[in-house]
Amino acid sequence: MATTAGATDSARAARARAAMLRRLGGTASLVLRYAIAAAAIGLAWELFSVRFDSPVLFPGPAKTAARAIELIEEGRLQADILVSLQRILIGFAVGSVIGALAGLAMGSSQLVADLFRPLVNFFRFIAPTAWIATAMVWFGLGEASKISLIIYSTVFVVLLSSMIGVGAVARNKIRAARCLGASNRQIFFLVTLPGALTYVLTGMRMALMNAFMTVVAAEMIAAEAGLGYLIYNSRQWMETDSIFVGMLTLGIVGLMADRLFVLISRTLLRRFSFQ
């Protein structure tokens, strides 16, 4: 018995080591791919800037990096990042909750879908930037107007993806649950919701991109801080290197947010995770 138990423990330890090595190998491969992509982009950027031969209009990587260091030393870049992230996270979270609940309701009830589908199909084709003036009139020049635009850009992506997810749940699973005596509530929480969760997460991941794009437009109007404000304000003073810093920072922060979202999904919802 002791020998069998020892062999079982050894096998488990070996599997755990193998899994850890696979994760480390996957992480190293991901870092390598990003490093190669960054090097290729940097090389192409340097070649274009030399070809363009106008540092004011098209600054190269060195000039942009120097400006980024200046902004960091001044504390401006960190402050702009934090302000934009706060707006993005609040708008994304509220919009995702509203979109997921509405999408699950529309997917689960034909009556709800028939009532709200025309409105959803109408408003989802109106760009968030079209609402900037109206948001300023309704909510003022403070945070509410900017966050409301991010909520708007998030809701419809999550809603449609959630609705599709409910429709993708196999009907046989629902029939089987009913045959076993499950109530509608049990069917929703034990069958429909788990089956649609992957679609909800996918919609949230796409909506996160929309939130990053919308925050730039929102911060270009009546803002005093944020990455969008940095880009817009730099344009007025022809500080093209600061514009490039703002755009690069948006891309880097957005990439980190996307990978963090995927990591959380894989960790907390491993059964429903995606690549």
Please determine, for residue 238, whether its predicted confidence score (pLDDT) is greater than 60. yes
Question: pTM to 2 decimals?
Answer: 0.82
Model confidence at 48, pLDDT cuts 50, 70, 90, reads confident
Q: Where are the domains of the chain?
A: 1-53, 60-272
The pLDDT, as a whole number, for residue 10 is 62
pLDDT tens, residue by residue, 159-217: 999 999 998 888 888 888 888 888 888 888 888 888 888 899 999 999 999 999 999 98
**What long-range pairs does 251-257 form, CB within 8 A, spacing at least 24?**
253/81, 253/84, 253/85, 253/212, 253/227, 254/208, 254/209, 254/212, 257/88, 257/208, 257/212
At 86 the pLDDT is 94
The Cβ of residue 126 has, within 10 Å, a number of other Cβ atoms equal to: 11
Residue given tokens 């996270």 in the structure block: 89
Q: What percentage of residues in the chain have a pLDDT greater than 70?
A: 86
Per-residue tokens: 153: 């850009």
Fold of 60-272: MetI-like fold (1.10.3720)
Long-range contacts of range 257-264, CB-CB < 8 Å, 24 or more positions apart? 257/88, 257/208, 257/212, 258/205, 258/208, 258/209, 261/204, 261/205, 261/208, 262/205
